Structure formats: structure tokens, C-alpha cells
């Protein structure tokens, strides 16, 4: 999460985090909200809509196929 905080000032494009399990999605979401300045409005969880204006996308690997 600290890595994402540093990237926030550098990266203009959205960030995709791929998780191996569904439980990891919640863990990542909690870590990002706790350790960065991102809010729930900045994070999309398991969204299939790539056109929404979010800064971080958290998806399960199986949802990509």
C-alpha cells in the first residue's frame, strides 16, 4: 500500500491489482484505505466496466477469463 501511495503522484493511469483469492480482495481494499489517501470512491472491486473513472481496480484472477 505504501508503494501505491508513492505511485499516486507518479502514475496518471489506473492501477490493476490481481488477487489469487476472493478474500485477498477485501484485504487489499482495507490496506489501501488504511495506508493511503485513496477513498472508496477511488477503488473499483470486481468491476467489469473498464470505462468507470476509478484509480484502482481490484479483481480476482478467475474473473479475467
Can you give the pTM of this predicted structure? 0.79
pLDDT of residue 9: 67
Beta 56-60 vs 15-19: how paired, if at all? Answer: parallel
**pLDDT for residue 20:** 92
pLDDT per residue as tens digits for the range 1-57? 667 666 666 677 888 999 998 899 999 999 989 888 889 999 999 888 878 999 899
Cell of 65: 477469463
User: How far apart, in whole angstroms, are the C-alpha atoms of residue 52 and residue 31?
Assistant: 22
DSSP letter for 11, please. Answer: -
Domains of the chain, by residue range, sit at: 1-64
pLDDT number for residue 61:
85
Residues forming beta bridges with residue 45, ordered by sequence position: 58
Amino acid at each position: 500500500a505504501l508503494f501505491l501511495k508513492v505511485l499516486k503522484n507518479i502514475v496518471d493511469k489506473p492501477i490493476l491489482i490481481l488477487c489469487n483469492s476472493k478474500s485477498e480482495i477485501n484485504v487489499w481494499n482495507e490496506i489501501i484505505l488504511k495506508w493511503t489517501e485513496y477513498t472508496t470512491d477511488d477503488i473499483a472491486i470486481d468491476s467489469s466496466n473498464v470505462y468507470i473513472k476509478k484509480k484502482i481496480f481490484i479483481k480476482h484472477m478467475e474473473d479475467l477469463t
